């Protein structure tokens, strides 16, 4: 593929995204304490501040930097089954998309220029009616059509998931990527049209969890980020990154928010177009 000429002749793209999996800390209080032996995880139970409610923090960071991002909100309907531990992670701490506080933050984000997308529930990647329901319910809250989706746990049945997403009215998907490492899946470096029509796949390149878990220290984390930024600049790529909103709690995820800010600032230095998935789709739909 020839190098794409980005808006204002920017050298490459940094696409900012956040998946909203859960907004409250529940079973993680115990699991994180047993793993890290940090008393903070137990005391956070009694804190007046919800450690996973960091929407205003993200808005403040991005507002100061003059950028906007895409938030994918989850509407998980899978039921908790006590005799099936596999359901615990999907259901415990799950929020209700219709809760007043959730509706208020979604509307606040949307009204101030952030993009709202659907974070398709665990089984919706293979269930057209379920995904259609989730899209319609979030659209009622937002008050406008939603064009973007990313599947929970990056579940993807190729090409069936893309066909389902397109058929229910999505214009792009942002699921294609790795769960356990960073980088370019299948050596695909650009967004692409998987169904040979206007439906676009925007690959995920960096997710916070594998970035921090697979690197020994914060210097290694930043080294790998800078390496990807340089490569994206050289090739004119779309560098899509995912930071869950819970990761902006610095006590639980030390310096994760700092790396997010440093990535944005570094990409600014290297003349990147920093934007949402929706804007990437708008630009590329007629370019590819």
What does the pLDDT look like over 53-100, one tens digit per residue? 999 999 999 999 999 999 999 998 877 666 666 666 677 668 999 999
Residue 37: pLDDT band with limits 50, 70, 90: very low
- The predicted pLDDT at position 77 comes to 82
- The predicted pLDDT at position 133 comes to 98
DSSP, residue by residue, the chain: -PPP--GGG-SEEEEEEEEE--SS-STHHHHHHHHH--THHHHGGG-SS-TT--HHHHHHHHHHHT---EEEEE---PPP-TT-GGGHHHHTTPPPTTSHHHHHHHHHHHHTT-EEEEEE-TTGGG-HHHHHHHHHHHHHHHTS---EEEEGGG---TTHHHHHHHHTT-SEE---S-SSS-S-GGG--S-B-TTSSS-EE----EEHHHHHHSSSSHHHHHHHHHHHHHHHHHHT-EEEEE--GGGG-TTTSTTHHHHHHHHHHHHHHTTEEEE-HHHHHHHHTTT-
- The predicted pLDDT at position 9 comes to 95
Instruction: Look at residue 15 and tell me whether its pLDDT is greater than 70.
Output: yes
- The predicted pLDDT at position 57 comes to 96
- The predicted pLDDT at position 164 comes to 98
Query: pLDDT of 183-242, one tens digit each?
Result: 999 999 999 999 999 999 999 999 999 999 998 899 999 999 999 999 999 999 999 999
Higher pLDDT: 45 or 181? It is: 181
- The predicted pLDDT at position 237 comes to 96
Residue 39: pLDDT band with limits 50, 70, 90: low
What share of the chain has pLDDT > 90, as a percent?
78
Which domains are seen in the chain, by residue range? 7-284 (3.20.20.370)
Whole-number average pLDDT of the chain = 90
- The predicted pLDDT at position 90 comes to 72
Average of per-residue pLDDT across 157-164 = 98
Q: What's the pTM? A: 0.92
């Amino acid at each position: 593929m020839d190098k794409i000429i980005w808006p204002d002749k920017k050298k490459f793209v940094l696409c900012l995204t956040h998946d909203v999996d859960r907004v409250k800390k529940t079973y993680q209080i115990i699991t994180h304490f047993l793993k890290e032996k940090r008393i903070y995880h137990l005391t956070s139970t009694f804190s007046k501040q919800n450690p996973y409610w960091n929407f205003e923090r993200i808005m403040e960071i991005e507002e100061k930097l003059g950028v906007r991002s895409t938030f994918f909100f989850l509407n998980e309907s899978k039921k908790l089954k006590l005799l099936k531990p596999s359901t615990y992670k999907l259901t415990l701490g799950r929020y209700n998309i219709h809760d007043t506080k959730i509706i208020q933050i979604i509307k606040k984000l949307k009204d101030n220029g952030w993009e709202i997308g659907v974070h398709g529930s665990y089984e919706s990647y293979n269930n057209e009616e379920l995904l259609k329901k989730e899209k319609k319910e979030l659209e009622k809250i937002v008050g406008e059509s939603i064009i973007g989706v990313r599947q929970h746990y990056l579940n993807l049945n190729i090409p069936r998931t893309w066909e389902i997403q397109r058929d229910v009215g999505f214009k792009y998907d942002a699921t294609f990527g790795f769960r356990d490492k960073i980088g370019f899946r299948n050596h695909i470096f650009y967004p692409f049209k998987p169904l040979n029509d206007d439906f676009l796949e925007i690959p995920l390149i960096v997710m916070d969890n594998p970035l921090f878990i697979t690197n020994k220290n914060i210097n290694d984390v930043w080294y790998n980020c800078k390496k990807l930024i340089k490569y994206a600049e050289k090739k004119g790529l779309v560098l899509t990154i995912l930071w869950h909103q819970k990761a902006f709690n610095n006590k639980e995820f030390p310096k994760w928010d700092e790396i997010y800010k440093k990535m944005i600032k570094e990409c600014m230095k290297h003349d990147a177009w920093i934007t949402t998935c929706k804007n990437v789709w708008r630009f590329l739909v007629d370019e590819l």
